[in-house]
């Protein structure tokens, strides 16, 4: 049985049209600056290259700024400046700073915003919610169709290990660039989309390389109030073309303030905790001997969830130091008619930002009556049940540990010139500190 | 990182409390630091003898640095976040925190911080932070299960071969003083055989699954709280220490006439949290309030003061026209006025004058800035001296826009919370 819900899709680009309109326009050149084969040759966009951090997280303290008095990092400046530029050029559908917003009184500090312009007064579209993995469909809207003016800059790793900025770099299709584009229906100031390897047209699913890119962006911005988020299909992703979202809000998110209980530390130093006293059940990933260890632990957990058809959201917070993973089931409940009409009427689609505690409301009534109880009640519907969460959690840990052994196999078979992401600290796997749990290895079985 | 602006740091302390206050503070037995949130990097401006002894650093190594230098891999990020938020909201906080000494050894301490307000300024000028080491470590654990964790984790350490013990200690520093409890004739010995077969033969699939299930059940119920509760005595010590330091500071501020107090006093031109956020922005800019008569400046960045040669008290509350002079083009002024009335952004090239009467071409960008109500709260004016170069290759326009963006975020966010005015 296919599960579907109807909702108004968020318009993230000025070139995103109804399905019908889009299909009708196929054939013939597009006549404007998009990111497809017709317009890419000769295109130029700013390029920001970041330095890959090989050092352990401890040393990264030097690079990050975790208090308000550290000077603004360059990527931060670049992003804000470019965004303001697009504001002044009128590319956004509305001025988000003209939307009233507040912190709801209470212990959690949920945030509410009254945004009447975000969702078009158009008919809702059908979304399939029971398949987290769906193949990319070139006929539907994807980010290669956006106008180049909506792209702020290319974002990739530096070749020579130095942070560099090129105001006018050619877009080299062969290098598979990743880009940062604006979201023309912003939730907050600076709302952008990070689209890894945009020309490869990857569907909305996590892979190790892309997640690492997102993590690098959080680190480079060096601003704890600049957070990245990810919604899987079935967890309110709008577009099936791999993307992360990000924006600025200089207040703590309720999810960041929620208490956590440590559950385990993986062999590679990644510490996994779980949230408690928060309406949505989820895991928090921190630490790791290297950045890649942290990134891979989260990616592997996501890959497991998507392979097992469990919709989920991910929040990258605290300059990349804390990552929240939240499996959810709201869409499924909605499709099965299990959500109260009262909640459905608010038309809140609980994606990563809502789950983190930032609610965007369409109706004045909902905004004025917003309370901690209401917010909690809505989010509690999103969460997996305790029983189900325990199941999923146990399976995630299994997946994370098993993947350690896969990594080892990769290391043995990987040759030079392979374009897979290089394995960091390749010596670390065999140090005996983090042993595998799968038979066939020579090490002792150890759980830390 | 080089300690920035040591002169400013000395000033921060001396101009407010006078040099004699240092002696008085040195007589206190407590561990504490005093920091200045208005100086770039929020550096430590004073560290007590007790603090230096506790941390193992010398005064030179600490003054001018930010408090994060004492954090390390096992410092709880959420606790750091709580402290950061308290700073942003200019209020006190008390929390247990894991810090690291100079020699790399970690220790738990009760961190208690209190803001010090300038009486005339009505905003925070320093933070006092007291650190009380938590002597007897207390971990919150469930009965019995804690023991398992100790056994397994200590057994693990015994069995693991090549890794240096220092690395392991680093990774699980907080566990370093756990002791293994012997348990006889129990299931744990059985576990021991499973986990650590002497010949290290790999386990077969069946053993693996059952061990996995066992271990997962064990670990998911362990719920070791990696926090350290301070005792009532330690909390009392912290409270007394804060009180001592604040008394000294209040007393000595009377001698300089620049009074401080523990509570916020009097109006400030912009809210304190906004003031702190704006301090992060290093470029030259001013905020003006279009709702007040004659549209006065309510905030001026340090860079603006440097560019124009004025002191802060000379510009706050004044309309920007003091920057204009004989050769300033009236039509540029007119354009600015019109944009403000139309509530729109504009860029003008205008001739401005410094305090010493020298003139410069100012690439001025003006933009409305809204707060959390959605309505315009200020206009921002960002100045760039024509001919100045940015090391990243950003055009002047782009540099200005990034300042505007930062300010929009700061103003919107700082006015969201009902508890902040």
* pLDDT tens figures, B27-76: 999 999 999 988 878 899 999 999 999 999 999 999 999 999 999 888 99
Size of interface A-B (CB pairs under 8 A): 233
The whole-angstrom distance between B385's CA and the closest CA on chain A is 18
The residues near A176 (Cβ < 8 Å, ≥ 6 apart) are: A197, A199, A200
Q: Is the dihedral of CA A417, A418, A422, A425 positive or negative?
A: negative
B161 versus B18: the higher-pLDDT residue is B18
Q: How far is residue B86 CA from its own chain's centroid?
A: 9
pLDDT at A446 over 70: no
CA distance B345 to B368: 6
Residue A249 has its nearest CB partner, among B66, B73, B413, at B413
Residue B393 has its nearest CB partner, among A167, A251, A439, at A167
- Identify whether A243 is a catalytic site residue: yes
Contacts of B394 in chain A (CB under 8 A): 77-78, 81, 165, 167
Considering the candidates A243, A312, A358, A411, report the single residue annotated as catalytic: A243
State the ipTM, two decimals: 0.83
- pLDDT (tens digit, 9 = 90+) per residue, A383-435? 999 999 999 999 888 887 765 444 444 444 444 333 444 333 333 333 222 32
| pLDDT value of residue B214 | 55
Cα nearest neighbour of A70 on chain B: B41
Contacts of B198 in chain A (CB under 8 A): none
| pLDDT value of residue B182 | 32
Cα nearest neighbour of A112 on chain B: B416
Burial label, B301 (beta-carbon count in 10 A; 0-12, 13-18, 19+): buried
| pLDDT value of residue A165 | 87
Rg (CA), chain A: 21
Look-up of token digits 């680093």: B170
pLDDT at A32 over 80: no
Q: How far is residue B304 CA from its own chain's centroid?
A: 24
Residue B153 has its nearest CB partner, among A248, A438, A448, at A448
In this prediction, residue A275 has a pLDDT band, given cuts at 50, 70 and 90, of: very high
Q: What are the tokens at B156?
A: 């693990």
CA distance B358 to B355: 7
Instruction: Return mean pLDDT, chain B.
Output: 78
pTM assigned to the model: 0.75
CA distance B191 to B212: 12
Question: What is the average pLDDT across B176-195?
Answer: 33
Q: Is the dihedral of CA A73, A74, A75, A81 positive or negative?
A: positive
pLDDT at A28 over 70: no
In this prediction, residue A57 has a pLDDT band, given cuts at 50, 70 and 90, of: very low
pLDDT at B411 over 90: yes
Percent of chain A residues past pLDDT 90, beyond the cut: 57
| pLDDT value of residue A72 | 60
Q: Do A265 and B399 lie within an 8 Å CB cutoff? A: no
Q: How far is CA B390 from CA A221, A262, B385, B398, in A?
A: 19, 46, 11, 10
Residue-range domain boundaries for chain B: 3-134+228-261, 140-224, 272-415
- The CATH superfamily of B3-134+228-261 is PAS domain (3.30.450.20)
Q: Tell me if residue A242 falls in helix, strand or coil.
A: coil
Q: What are the tokens at B247?
A: 């008394």
Query: What φ, ψ does residue B419 adopt, rounded to 5°?
Result: -90, -5
pLDDT at B168 over 50: no
pLDDT at B421 over 80: no
Residue A66 has its nearest CB partner, among B68, B171, B203, at B68
Say if residues A50 and A75 touch (Cβ distance below 8 Å). yes
| pLDDT value of residue A31 | 66
Contacts of B93 in chain A (CB under 8 A): none
- pLDDT (tens digit, 9 = 90+) per residue, A86-140? 999 999 999 999 999 999 999 999 999 999 888 766 667 777 878 899 999 999 9
Sheet holding A358-361, edge to edge: A101-103, A111-114, A358-361
Q: Do B220 and A393 lie within an 8 Å CB cutoff? A: yes
In this prediction, residue B122 has a pLDDT band, given cuts at 50, 70 and 90, of: low
CA distance A64 to A228: 16
Exposed e or buried b for every residue in A399-411, given b needs 16+ CB within 10 A? Answer: bbbebbbebbeee
Q: Tell me if residue A81 falls in helix, strand or coil.
A: helix
Q: Tell me if residue B6 falls in helix, strand or coil.
A: helix
Question: What is the average pLDDT across B215-242?
Answer: 69
Q: Matching CATH topology for B3-134+228-261 and B272-415?
A: yes
Contacts of B372 in chain A (CB under 8 A): 100-102
Question: What is the average pLDDT across B99-126?
Answer: 88
B272-415 adopts what CATH topology? Answer: Beta-Lactamase (3.30.450)
| pLDDT value of residue B89 | 78
Nearest partner of A350 among A430, A204, A236, judged by Cα: A236
Contacts of A283 in chain B (CB under 8 A): none
- Best of B277, B280, B378, B395 to disrupt the A interface (most A CBs within 10 Å) is B280
Q: Do A81 and B399 lie within an 8 Å CB cutoff? A: yes
Q: Do B202 and A447 lie within an 8 Å CB cutoff? A: no
Contacts of B282 in chain A (CB under 8 A): 71-72
Least confident of A393-407, B167-181, B243-257, B263-277: B167-181
Say if residues A188 and A96 touch (Cβ distance below 8 Å). yes
CA distance A413 to A411: 6
The whole-angstrom distance between B326's CA and the closest CA on chain A is 32
B165 versus A302: the higher-pLDDT residue is A302
Nearest partner of B225 among A396, A274, A269, A252, judged by Cα: A274
Interior CA angle at B161 toward B198 and A442, to 5°? 60
B323 versus A71: the higher-pLDDT residue is B323
Nearest partner of A311 among A391, A231, A220, A379, judged by Cα: A231
Question: What is the average pLDDT across B1-22?
Answer: 78
CA distance B25 to B241: 11
- pLDDT (tens digit, 9 = 90+) per residue, A225-253? 999 999 999 999 989 999 999 999 999 99
Say if residues A374 and A348 touch (Cβ distance below 8 Å). no
Q: Tell me if residue A390 falls in helix, strand or coil.
A: helix
| pLDDT value of residue B346 | 95
Q: Do A393 and B224 lie within an 8 Å CB cutoff? A: no
Q: Is the dihedral of CA A425, A428, A430, A431 positive or negative?
A: positive
The residues near B280 (Cβ < 8 Å, ≥ 6 apart) are: A68, A69, A70, A71, A72, B406, B410
The whole-angstrom distance between A123's CA and the closest CA on chain B is 28
Query: Residue length, chain A?
Result: 448
Say if residues B298 and B269 touch (Cβ distance below 8 Å). yes
The whole-angstrom distance between B370's CA and the closest CA on chain A is 6
The whole-angstrom distance between A69's CA and the closest CA on chain B is 5
Q: Tell me if residue A99 falls in helix, strand or coil.
A: coil
Q: Do A393 and B163 lie within an 8 Å CB cutoff? A: no
CA distance A61 to A364: 43
Percent of chain B residues past pLDDT 70, beyond the cut: 74
Q: Do B167 and A432 lie within an 8 Å CB cutoff? A: no
Q: Is the dihedral of CA A21, A22, A24, A30 positive or negative?
A: positive
Contacts of A442 in chain B (CB under 8 A): 200, 202
**Long-range contacts of range A429-436, CB-CB < 8 Å, 24 or more positions apart?**
A429/A404, A431/B162, A431/B163, A432/B160, A432/B161, A432/B162, A432/B163, A433/A267, A433/B160, A433/B162, A433/B163, A433/B167, A433/B168, A434/A266, A434/A267, A434/A268, A434/A269, A434/A404, A435/A267, A435/B160, A436/A401, A436/A404, A436/A405, A436/A408
CA distance A222 to A232: 25
Instruction: Return mean pLDDT, chain A.
Output: 82
Q: Do A101 and B402 lie within an 8 Å CB cutoff? A: no
In this prediction, residue B197 has a pLDDT band, given cuts at 50, 70 and 90, of: very low
CA distance B387 to B389: 6
Burial label, B133 (beta-carbon count in 10 A; 0-12, 13-18, 19+): middle
Residue B72 has its nearest CB partner, among A58, A263, A440, at A58
| pLDDT value of residue B106 | 93
Nearest partner of A52 among A347, A410, A327, A422, judged by Cα: A422
């Amino acid at each position: 049985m296919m599960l579907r819900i109807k909702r108004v899709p968020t318009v993230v680009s000025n070139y995103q049209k109804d399905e019908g309109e889009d299909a009708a326009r196929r054939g013939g050149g597009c006549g404007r600056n998009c990111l497809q084969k017709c317009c890419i040759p000769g295109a130029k966009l700013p390029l920001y290259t970041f330095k890959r951090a090989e050092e352990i997280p401890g040393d990264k303290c030097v690079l990050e700024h975790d208090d308000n008095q550290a000077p603004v990092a360059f990527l931060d400046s670049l992003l804000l400046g470019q965004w303001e530029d697009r504001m002044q050029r009128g590319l956004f559908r509305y001025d988000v700073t003209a939307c009233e917003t507040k912190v709801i009184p209470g212990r959690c500090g949920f945030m509410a915003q009254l945004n009447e312009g975000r969702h078009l007064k158009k008919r809702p579209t059908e979304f399939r919610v029971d398949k987290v993995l769906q193949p990319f469909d070139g006929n539907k809207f994807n980010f290669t169709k956006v106008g180049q003016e909506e792209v702020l800059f290319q974002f990739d790793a530096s070749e020579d290990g130095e942070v560099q900025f090129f105001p006018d770099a050619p877009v080299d299709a062969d290098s598979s660039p990743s880009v940062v584009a604006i979201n023309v229906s912003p939730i907050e100031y600076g709302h952008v989309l990070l689209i890894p390897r945009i020309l490869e047209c990857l569907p909305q699913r996590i892979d190790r390389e892309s997640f690492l890119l997102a993590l690098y962006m959080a680190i480079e911005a060096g601003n704890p109030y600049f957070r990245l988020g990810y919604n899987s299909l079935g967890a309110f992703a709008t577009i099936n073309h791999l993307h992360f979202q990000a924006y600025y809000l200089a207040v703590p998110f309720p999810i960041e303030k929620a208490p956590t209980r440590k559950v385990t530390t993986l062999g590679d130093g990644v510490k996994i905790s779980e949230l408690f006293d928060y309406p949505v059940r989820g895991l928090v990933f921190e630490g790791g001997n290297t950045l890649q260890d942290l990134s891979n632990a989260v990616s592997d957990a996501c890959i497991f969830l998507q392979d097992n058809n469990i919709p989920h959201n991910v929040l990258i917070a605290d300059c990349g130091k804390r990552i929240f993973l939240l499996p959810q089931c709201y869409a499924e409940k909605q499709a099965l008619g299990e959500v109260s009409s009262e909640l459905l009427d608010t038309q809140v689609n609980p994606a990563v930002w809502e789950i983190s505690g930032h609610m965007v409301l369409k109706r004045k009534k909902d905004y004025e009556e917003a309370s901690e109880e209401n917010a909690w009640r809505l989010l509690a519907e999103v969460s997996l049940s305790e029983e189900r969460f325990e199941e999923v959690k146990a399976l995630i840990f299994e997946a994370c540990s098993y993947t350690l052994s896969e990594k080892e196999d990769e290391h043995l078979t990987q040759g030079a010139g392979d374009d897979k992401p290089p394995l960091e600290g390749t010596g670390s796997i065999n140090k005996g500190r983090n042993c595998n749990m799968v038979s066939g290895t020579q090490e002792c079985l150890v759980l830390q | 990182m080089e300690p920035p602006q040591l002169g400013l740091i000395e000033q921060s302390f001396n101009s407010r409390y006078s040099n004699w206050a240092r002696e008085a503070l040195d007589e206190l037995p407590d561990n504490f630091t005093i920091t200045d949130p208005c100086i770039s990097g929020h550096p430590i401006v004073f560290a007590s003898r007790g603090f230096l002894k506790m941390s193992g650093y010398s005064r030179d190594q600490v003054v001018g640095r930010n408090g994060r230098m004492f954090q390390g891999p096992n410092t709880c990020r959420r606790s750091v976040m709580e402290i950061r938020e308290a700073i942003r909201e200019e209020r006190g906080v008390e929390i247990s925190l894991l810090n690291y000494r100079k020699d790399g050894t970690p220790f738990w301490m009760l961190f208690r911080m209190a803001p010090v307000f300038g009486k005339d300024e009505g905003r925070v000028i320093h933070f006092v932070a007291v650190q009380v080491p938590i002597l007897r470590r207390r971990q919150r654990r469930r009965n019995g299960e804690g023991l398992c964790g100790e056994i397994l984790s200590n057994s693990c350490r015994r069995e693991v071969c090549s890794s240096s013990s220092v690395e392991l200690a680093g990774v699980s520093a907080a566990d370093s003083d756990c002791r293994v409890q012997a348990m006889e004739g129990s299931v744990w010995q059985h576990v021991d055989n499973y986990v650590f077969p002497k010949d290290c033969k790999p386990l077969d699939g069946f053993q693996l699954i059952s061990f996995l299930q066992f271990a997962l059940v064990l670990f998911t119920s362990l719920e070791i709280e990696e926090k350290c509760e301070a005792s009532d005595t330690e909390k009392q010590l912290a409270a007394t220490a804060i009180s001592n330091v604040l008394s000294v500071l209040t007393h000595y501020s009377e001698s300089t006439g620049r009074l401080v107090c523990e509570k916020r006093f009097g109006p400030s031109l912009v809210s304190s949290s906004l003031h702190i956020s704006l301090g992060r922005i290093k470029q030259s800019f001013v905020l003006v309030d279009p709702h007040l008569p004659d549209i006065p400046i309510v905030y001026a960045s340090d860079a603006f003061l440097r560019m124009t040669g004025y002191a802060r008290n000379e510009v706050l509350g004044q309309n920007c026209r003091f920057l204009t002079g004989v050769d300033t083009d009236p039509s540029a002024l007119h354009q600015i006025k019109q944009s403000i009335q139309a509530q729109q952004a504009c860029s003008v090239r205008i001739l401005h004058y410094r305090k010493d009467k020298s003139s410069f071409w100012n690439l001025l960008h003006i933009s409305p800035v809204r707060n959390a109500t959605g309505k315009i709260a200020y206009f921002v004016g960002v100045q760039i001296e024509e001919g100045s170069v940015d090391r990243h290759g950003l055009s002047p326009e782009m540099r200005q826009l990034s300042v505007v963006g930062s300010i929009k975020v700061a103003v919107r966010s700082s006015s969201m919370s009902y508890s902040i005015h």
